[in-house]
Every structure is written in structure tokens, then in C-alpha cells.
Chain A
Amino acid sequence: MSTAIEVLDLRKKYGEYEAVAGISLSIEQGEIYAILGPNGAGKTTTVEILEGYRSRDGGTVSVLGSDPGSLGIHGSVWRNRIGIVLQSTSDAAELTVAETVHHFSHYYTKPKNPDSVIELVGLSEKRDAKIRTLSGGQRRRLDVALGIIGAPEILFLDEPTTGFDPEARRAFWELILSLKAEGTTIVLTTHYLDEAEALADRVAVINAGKIVEIATPATLGGRHLAKATISWSEDGNTHSKISENPTQDVLELSKRLQGEIPELTITRPSLEDIYLTMIEGQQ
């Protein structure tokens, strides 16, 4: 595997305020990389620098071998290889879904089939609907369709599932995983920790313009080493115990209660618990 995105000591100031204060990260080809962090942490600024929308004040950036800060006349060749799903847009309200997706396919040298893309994002029934009549979630799926129509090598997704119902979100996750299976590198910023957990190979937690930690969702913040909580019901009361050896403890409990343990659960901290602890620890 080779590197799709390489960032070294990235810096960006808005006036006196340092929005990005020395971020370094490296994203491999074909991986799903999630960037997490509270509002104002510098996620969007970082991603927009990678997408070529914003200039930077320091550091080096390489996306598919090019510096998005100085593309010059090669910009169009580079943009042909990336796809961008922006945060909330409300453009092209008077066009239909099919018109828009077909039109955007002309921008790229090797686009996917527009009708298959419409099908893939689940908008076949809405293909002739005006965009202004779409619900928030449908609108977002159209954004995704326009992001992938050019068969990008890297897809940037900025909070893609905001406004989705749980079913639409699951369907969206399937779609993202199918793009990964085709070899697409995916950079995802999200507020939903379950989304990062379901999709990401690695997550980077950013706070106050700096990387707090980069790890797999399973190992972030030492989560795999964290103690488990066992809880059960006994004599009409709920008991719980923090355990380093939950298997051993459950076996003993089962022996004592002679078989089935009522209302047994064994939990480890969720990604969300770990994340919140990390962000609070920073402040």
C-alpha cells in the first residue's frame, strides 16, 4: 500500500487565532480515515486545505502526489481524481436529480454511469424530482452522488449523514464500504462516533488545532485495555462489578447462581465514552 495523503506540521491562522497548530498525519491508499473533534477543533479547516479550498500558513501537504496549495494549471487533472462532499449545500434547487448527476458526469474524464450512481445512493424513485423537493437526507445522498460520479481515488466526506434516519444511515454505510472495496481512499469527518466505529480503519482525534491521538477505533485511548463492567440482577437488585477478568468472573457468578445469570451484560467503554474523556482531559 502506498500513501494517498501526507501532511506534515500543517498550520493555519485566522488573524491571531491558530485554527490548525501543527497537524501531521498520513493516510494510506484504500483506507477509511475518520477525523473526529469538537466544533472549532480545526477539522474543517484541515480538510479544506487538503481539498484545495484553503491556503495554509505552514507545513507540507501532499494529496495524490500534488500540493493542493499550488496546483496552478494542473488543478483540473488533480480534481479529476478526487471527490468532495461538502457540508450542507442548497444549490441547483430547480434542476432534477437526474439532470444534475448527468451534468456533473461531463466534468470528469472517466465518470461512473450516472444512472447507476443514482441507483447506488437510493434516489432512483426521485430521479425526475426537482432538487428543492428532496428531504434533507435525500439531498445529502445527492451530494454523495455528485461526490462519487467522477470515480474518485480519494473521497472527502464532511459530516455526510447529518439528517439521516437510522435506516438511511445504515444504507449509507454500506455504500461507503462498497467504495472502499473498490479501492477508494475515504477521508471522513463526522460527529457520530458510531459512524466512525462502523466505518473507519483509523481515527484521528483533533482538538484545539492539534492531534490528540491517532489509532484504530478499537484501540483509541487504550480502549482495548480498559476494564469491563459486568452487571446482573440478584435478589431483585441490580449489581455491577468492574472487572479485569470478566470471563473468569462470569463463570464464577454462573456457578454461584446455578446456571443462567439474570439480566447479564458485560460492557466496555464505547468509542464515545473514550472520545469524551479525551476531549475533556484536554480542556
Chain B
Amino acid sequence: MNTLRLGLLRGNIEIKQFMRQRESVIFTIFFPVLLLFIFGSVFKDTIAPGVTFSQYFVAGMIASGLVNSGFQQLAINIPIERDNGALKRLRGTPMSPIAFFIGKAILVFLSMIAQVIMLLFFGALFFHLHLPHSGALWLRFAWLVILGSACSTVLGIALAGIIKSGRGAPAVVSPFVIVLQFISGVFFVFSNLPSWMQHFAALFPLKWLTQGMRSVFLPDSFAAQEVTHHWEIGRTAIILVAWLIAGTILATRSFKWSRQ
């Protein structure tokens, strides 16, 4: 059986396992929606003409969704699978590692789609999120989602290789993600943060993803409120591609099939 078909079968198995673990479904898909309701209901201030904080927040949560479904999910689950012997068992079979990673990518992509659809749906229904009004904006949304989740996937695999044990993984990964969300323009308006924090956040992909999502979901006039007064779409693409390349190299070097 060729590698692509095996990869699809792996994807099927990954999704079955994911859907049957209620905690992982809730944590990955419903938790962001819950956060959306809490933050969206509490902070209703208008932050610029025609833009409320809840709209700003939904755009940031969609960007975070890419981090949750890829980076967070893989960096926590791969070390667990390494501890329980799943990876070692697979390594002892003729299955190509490429098929394994295709399976993971399918899981990330589908759980990400589910999450984004939920956020778009509830965001539009309750928090005045405006869906993109032109084909060009949908296209931008599509490449942001694809590039963002690819980045998130390889970085999750790379971090999974460094984390020692499955039990300790959530304690390493979750604070990492939460801090990134605080400094990257998800929970706070990015331009209100101290400038040293802005510069630090600009090193990581999430800041660029949230900004890109704002360019898709907020009125074009809001660009004036960004730190550089521009959406910086070109720069966002370059930085995400750079992280994708770096993450792929790190992931192939750090990945381990068993604890040694």
C-alpha cells in the first residue's frame, strides 16, 4: 500500500482516537468557544470607530485556534504516545514515518477546521463578527489558515521532541501558549502593550497570525490602529514561511520514537 493511502488510513485512526476522548474534543474545540463567550461578553467596549473589543478578540481567537489544534495538541499528545509505547510499536512496523505525519496533519487540519467554523459561527451570531466580504479576503483567510496551521504543526512536533515525558507535557505547553496569547494581541489590544513586549511578541508567529486575521475580519480602516499603521501582509507571509522552514528542520532533528 502506498504511503499516501496509508497516511489517509492513519488520519482516519487519529480522528477516531481523538473523537473518542471526550476531554480532548472539549479542550481543543469547545474551550476556545467558551473563552469567546466569556471575553466577548465581558469586554464590549468600542476600541475604534465601528470596532468592538469582542470583534477584535474573535479575530485573535481564530488565530489562537491554529495554535491550539496544531502546536498545543501535538506537543502534548506526541510525548504521551511516546510514553505509552504507541510510537515505538509503529516504528517496528514497515509503515513509513511520512504516513504517520500525514495522519497527524489530517487530524490537525480537521480539528482546526471544526474549531474555526465554531468560532466563525458563534462570533458572527453573537459578537458582530463580519465574515470576509470579498473573494480576495477569503483567499487571504485561506492562506493564513493553511500557512498558520502548517507552522503550528511542525513547531508542535519540534517541541514534542524536546519534552521529556507525556505527564509533564501539558505543564510545559499550556503556559507557553497562554503567555503567547497574552502578548500577541489575543486577550489585549496589541497596540496597547508596552513596546518591549510588542517587539518580543513579534519574534513569534502568533502575533502575525492575529494581525493577519484582523486584516480579514475588521474594517480596513482599523489598519491605522495597528502599531505600524499597516496590516503588513507581505511581512506576515515571510515570517510564517521562515518559521515553517525552521520548524520543519527542528522537527526532523528532535523527533524520537521512544524514550531512551
Contact = CB atoms under 8 A, between A and B. Distances in A.
Q: What is the size category of the interface that chain B forms with chain A? A: 20 to 34
Interface stretch (A15-23, A102-110, A199-207): A102-110
Contacts of A79: 92-94
B82 to A, nearest CB: 10
B84 interface: yes
Contacts of B94: 75-77, 79-80, 107-109, 150
A15 to B, nearest CB: 13
A37 B74 CA distance: 39
A75 B91 CA distance: 10
A107 B6 CA distance: 8
Given A106-B1, A106-B6, A91 B85 contact: yes
A51 interface: yes
A200 to B, nearest CB: 22
Among the interface residues A75, A80, A94, A108, which one has the most CB atoms of the partner chain B within 10 A? A94
Contacts of A88: 85
B95 interface: yes
A95 B13 contact: yes
Contacts of B13: 95, 99, 103
Among the interface residues A80, A91, A99, A106, which one has the most CB atoms of the partner chain B within 10 A? A91
Interface residues of A, number: 29
B258 to A, nearest CB: 7
A268 B176 CA distance: 65
Among the interface residues B81, B86, B88, B257, which one has the most CB atoms of the partner chain A within 10 A? B88
Interface string A63-83: 000000000000111011010
Given A86-B92, A103-B13, A106-B9, 7 more contacts: A51-B92, A53-B258, A54-B260, A80-B94, A91-B81, A107-B93, A108-B94
27 contacts: A51-B92, A52-B92, A53-B88, A53-B91, A53-B92, A53-B257, A54-B260, A76-B94, A76-B95, A76-B96, A79-B92, A84-B89, A84-B92, A86-B89, A89-B84, A89-B89, A92-B86, A94-B16, A94-B17, A95-B16, A99-B13, A104-B93, A107-B93, A107-B94, A107-B95, A150-B93, A150-B94
Closest 3 CB pairs of A and B: A89-B85, A91-B86, A94-B20
